[in-house]
Structure 1
């Protein structure tokens, strides 16, 4: 499985630092939006920055620890500069009161929350070690094997852009930045399962809550927003009944 507790902790802190800076940048540049909007879009921005900043430095220093340290320094400089120039209001006044009012007004968020919790359950049951092998489930019989190969090979070969692990000497012709976050966590010492699952859980939340935000802005009606989410995300007929 690779990795250890200390490596997992370092990788988690690195990942959360990008999430925190993403949310801070969203507060700087989206200061007219509500805080939960800033947090959803800021979380997505943090993930995008974790894809791109290490990759940009990897052109000079390969996909190495050095590139990741420079990426983190770049992120911190960018965030500090934005905070200095924009002076965002990061902490709301009367937080408990506003939090309760928000929960009463935004009860429809229970729907994307429920979808995300179901997603979490499925993801955590899609990756299992047994008899020295990795077992997968749902629609990941082939895809998961491919992506795990990309994740480990990008971290271990350190060549950038990466080579195709199954066909040495050939550049990887695939949008590999979707795997590079997990590669970064794996490189920092996280166990493979942890490196694979953590970005996926955050990405799932970004998708469900981001879609809710989009439909809420577009349809301007809570019932229509809920119906749009159900039709879009639960569009497999009654297949869920077998689950």
Structure 2
């Protein structure tokens, strides 16, 4: 029996191996549409394998700690150190031991749609803590100290006490054993998960602020000094969530 191309497309979603009898039969089908589906299947499998290998590579630090009997491993990351407006937000995430999320990496390398999907998957399965330091506190203690405080706050908001911390390029004044990993959001699945949570949390918050302060287009620039944001600043001056210690806002105050 010859299947239509639409039938093959639908049934190919369930094919796991190129040695599947149906798949082998379709490989001999010379219709152009079928051969395109075959190529697409191989590309998808190649992508899945690449994502699996990347996830394994990004799990090396976690697996080494687990081999030592350490299971409560918290990845910590922040977002919002550079913007002219809005808080700095940190997230701490303890992933379940059997957690697997192909494609998980640095939030900046993930599309908005996929970030939102990953956010739901992570919050649905992991222990998540959030830390938020507002602009006035950033102005008072400086952004570096504010970032550390946001991270400490996020760790404190976890339901479980972590046994080890994996932190993106930072050391914290905490008694918990910790490992600082430069560009950790691209090297550790735990830190990558935290980067997703922090990014989505802050983006949604800035979108809410955009409804209160539409002049600055916060929903587009997230508080960073883009052209539209700077034009809003020039025309309306700073609002309550601008960081008064950051230039050019500082020069306007």
Structure 2 length normalisation: TM-score? 0.24
Higher helix share: 1
Looking at secondary structure, tell me which structure has more strand per residue: 2
Q: Which has the higher contact order (CA 8 A, sep 6+)?
A: 1
Rg larger for: 2
